[in-house]
Amino acid sequence: MGASTSQGYEIARKSREIVRELIGNDIAGLGEEEAAIVERIVHSTADPEYARITRFSSDFVQAALGSLRESGSILTDIEMVRAGITGDRAVSFIRRPEVAEIAAGREITRAAAAVEYAAEKGFRGLIVIGNAPTALMKVIELVEDGSLDADAVIGVPVGFVGAAESKEALRRTELPHMITEGPKGGTPVAVAAANALIALSEGRKV
């Protein structure tokens, strides 16, 4: 859980006990890896509602773990998500000058333009969208037209405008995915899910 000192480990252990108490019933039907991901999300947000609104496609865990073990590349929508992901394998293009130009020229958000830029650069791997519904819609559009290669998508944009709709759109695709239903989601949810998967892919405790 990111802890690297004995005090940190003790806090993580106690928290995990409390989380299991709070959400044990909600996650009883999930697979072991899915349950571990949800536990880490609730640990990170202190919000048990995530145990009721997090949804996985049945092929998500296997596809995401396979992607991490093979390519190891992770694309995030914004810098804040990138900064939270363990190690240095995650990339975000949102601050590149070329992305600002794409966004301004086509009147799309920088987050959506950054996904176009990643597709142009031939990105392939796990995609983690923690904030921008426009970025998630762009991922779906580019995967469907064959110009972006996503092994699996963590799609948890947050907000009252477009977030829920973008996640429902992802749910209707064939892409291996994890979403949170409704307006809630965001950076800590995206980061918790990605870091849980990284730990699982390396055979570490989540």
Residues forming the active site: 43
Residues 92-151 close enough to bind a second copy by CB under 8 A: 100, 103-104, 107-110, 112, 133-134
Cβ distance 168 to 36 under 8 Å? no
- In order of 4, 28, 66, 127, 128, the CA distances from 111 in angstroms are 33, 36, 26, 13, 12
Query: Using the rule CB under 8 A, which residue among 57, 67, 166, 187 binds a second copy?
Result: 187
Establish if 6 lies at the interface with a second copy (CB under 8 A): yes
Residues 21-40 close enough to bind a second copy by CB under 8 A: none
Beta bridge partners of 75: 91, 127
Count of chain residues binding a second copy (CB under 8 A): 45
Q: How far apart are CA 132 and CA 40, in angstroms?
A: 22
Which residue lies nearer to a second copy by CB, 176 or 186?
A: 186
Q: Least separation, in Å, of the C-beta of 46 and a second copy?
A: 4
Q: Least separation, in Å, of the C-beta of 98 and a second copy?
A: 15
Task: Kindly state the helix (H) or strand (E) to which residue 71 belongs, with its residue range.
Answer: none
Establish if 18 lies at the interface with a second copy (CB under 8 A): yes
Tally Cβ neighbours within 10 Å of residue 41.
28
Tally Cβ neighbours within 10 Å of residue 28.
8
Widest pairwise Cα distance in the chain: 51
Which residue lies nearer to a second copy by CB, 61 or 197?
A: 197
Q: Which positions lie near a second copy, rule CB under 8 A?
A: 3-8, 11, 14-15, 18-19, 43-47, 79-80, 82-84, 100, 103-104, 107-110, 112, 133-134, 158-163, 182-188, 191
